[in-house]
Structure 1
Amino acid sequence: MKIDTKVIAHRGSKGTRPENTLVSFQAALNDGADGIETDVHFSKDHQLIIMHDETVDRTTNGHGLIYEKNLAEIKHLDAGMRFSEEFKGTQVPTLQEVVQLLIDNQFAGIFNLELKTNKIQYPGIEQAVDEYFSSIHYPFQLIYSSFNARSLEILTNIDPQAYRAKLFKTAAKQAKGLKRSRFIEDFHPDIRWVKRHPYFASAKHLRPWTVNTTEDMQYCFKKNMAAIITDFPARAVQLRAEMRGE
């Protein structure tokens, strides 16, 4: 079976490692993931922090909002112990540290960076991220995504060549409007929504999340979607190989 669908690791190998940490991203690379997905916030001192939630409570031993803490405070947090004692002492990474890991691994796949501006705006974060990537050479394909349409519009104005995708659970009409207006290239919808709306868009423009069950992986692979975003990249890579007859 011809399957070109890429496997993008959601917050790294989130199902097997503490999410959004260097050990999680390295595990995903070791598993053969074609892409890495992660999330970025601003700290109090405007450092680019990699974490999913707006607060540090769920994934670390700390409490409070990211934007109320400076980088030094965040680096003192333990981002591994809530997942397992095995990963006690794991730090919260910065965007720069994640990118350096990818460069060190000579990673040439997809790096999907979600701007977490749908709940907290983080004024200036789009400019900061663009300036950072403009200042370095990197081997991977950079894709920006966000639930916040305004962030995607800001990115378009900053760099019209930036590759952008709209995340959504149900707001398909807004996503279609953004594509018509050329603010985005692709759609990153909830897999549950995709299965209820199978004719929403061409498979080559879809990277659904979070595709974790064998059934959902098979569904996406059979439709030859652009990519899947999964917590279990090793499982997805293996299943894809089996379906290809490799």
Structure 2
Amino acid sequence: MINLRIALSGLLLTTCLGHSVLMAQTTLSLSNYTYSPAKPVVGTLRVPASVRGLKLQGPNASSFKLDKNNQLSIVASAAKASAPWYDLMVEGKTAAGSVRDTFRIVKDEFIRNQVIAHRGAWKQSGTTENSISSLQNAIKLGCMGSEFDVHMSADSVLFVNHDHSIQGVSIEKATAAELAKIKLPNGESLPTLEAYLTEGIKQNRTKLILEIKTSMLGKERSLALTERVVAMVHRLRAQAWVDYIAFSYDVCQKVKSLDPDAKVAYLNGDKSPEQLAADHLYGLDYHFSVLKKNEGWINDAQQRNLTVNAWTVNDKDTLAWFLEHKADFITTNEPELLLSMIAK
């Protein structure tokens, strides 16, 4: 058997006994990755004009239908089944061979209670922020989302931590091997993005709010980090879980160029809802003081189909203000408090 793999411009070309398969992570994509029994339409399969003859493949192919407009739907029996998700392979033909990708289509049981646990739920439990256990705690609490921060090591491995350094070690200037030796105060290892996402996608209740940190080494490194983050999310088939946030507008736009249907919100607070909507972002994610100063932005954003998140809100009065003003999400170090306020 001849099995020749050639890496070319991010693509992998495999030739096996004369049969060519051209695999590119972003050749095929979906506009949405979730379903429910009440909403069986998953989304639109997006393909380049050069791709034709699309077919659903694999053991779950019979659980879905693809119409002439490339709209993907789940059949009623599969939607009502207990499975939390299905992996579905889609294949098409090009002049160069076949293209295929596998998507994880997830039952939408995600919580919608506005509560985003900032760096996970760590404060009341006494664990370490941005740790695997803080993520697990946020999931157990029933938070809508768990926020976390991602950096890239000197040798391009992705790690989860808020600050650019940890225990005196600069993440961007250290190797993955050096960072792997670091133990968090709760005894866990410094988590890689792969480990964090792998844990997070074991459930379908809490979203993963992924902040791509702005590199201290320059714009190009920030964009390289962004490419690796989006590639990791796609490789792990975590699109249904992950929303992206960033302080760098270049990073936000880079995510959208890599995945036009990704949910991306901007953090820095210096752009109007009008501009964010014009650039097709998902929402604004601003410090609470910015939104209190520009109160009209909340309604303006929502009228433009943008989501509104306020960070980081920890006191009861300010939490109540944003609940009253119907913010879509509130990021907090006190998820237990916010959950108790919502429950009343």
Maintained 8 Å contact 1:118/1:147: no
1:222 aligns with 2:327: no
Change (3 A) 1:214 1:140: farther
Aligned partners of 1:42 and 1:49 also within 8 Å = yes
Q: Which residue of 1 aligns with 2:155?
A: 45
User: What amino acid is aligned across from residue 31 of structure 1 in structure 2?
Assistant: L
Contact 2:276 2:284 in 1 (8 A): no
- What does residue 132 of structure 2 align with? 22
RMSD: 1.9
Instruction: Tell which deviates more after alignment, 136-145 or 42-51.
Output: 136-145
Aligned to 1:6: 114
Paired residue secondary structure (1:77): coil
Q: 2:270 aligns with which of 164, 171, 175?
A: 171
Partner of 1:83: none
Question: d(CA) in 1 for partners of 2:242 and 2:314?
Answer: 23
1:130 aligns with 2:239: no
Match of 2:249 among 149, 167, 172: 149
**TM-score, with normalisation over the residues of structure 1?**
0.83
Select the structure that is richer in helix.
1
Alignment correspondent of 1:64: 169
State which of 174, 191, 211 in structure 2 corresponds to 1:93: 191
Percent sequence identity over aligned pairs: 24
Q: Distance in 2 between matches of 1:91 and 1:100?
A: 15
How far, CA to CA, are the matches of 1:207 and 1:119 in structure 2?
A: 25
**Structure with larger RCO (C-alpha < 8 A, sep 6+):** 1
Task: Report if the CA contact (8 A) 1:10-1:36 is conserved.
Answer: yes
In our comparison, the structure showing a higher alpha carbon Rg is 2
Aligned mates of 2:128, 2:204 — CA distance in 1? 21
Partner of 1:237: 339
TM-score, normalised with respect to structure 2: 0.61
CA displacement at 1:15 relative to structure 2? 2.3
Rounded Cα–Cα distance in structure 1 between residues aligned with 2:197 and 2:335: 19
Work out the number of aligned pairs and report it.
223
Shift in Å, 1:229: 0.5
Distance 2:254 2:195 in 1: 25
Give the aligned residue type for 1:200. W
Task: Return the letter of the residue paired with 2:247.
Answer: F
Note the residue ranges of structure 2 that are not aligned, 5 or more in a row: 1-111
- State the partner residue of 1:103: 201
Decide which structure has greater strand share: 2
1:211 lines up with 2:313 in the alignment: yes
**Is the CA contact (8 Å cut-off) linking 1:12 and 1:37 kept in structure 2?**
yes
What's the offset of the Cα at 1:142?
1.7
CA distance in 2, matches of 1:230, 1:139: 24
Instruction: Give the whole-Å Cα distance in 2 for the aligned partners of 1:34 and 1:28.
Output: 9
Counterpart CA distance in 2 for 1:230 and 1:140 is 23
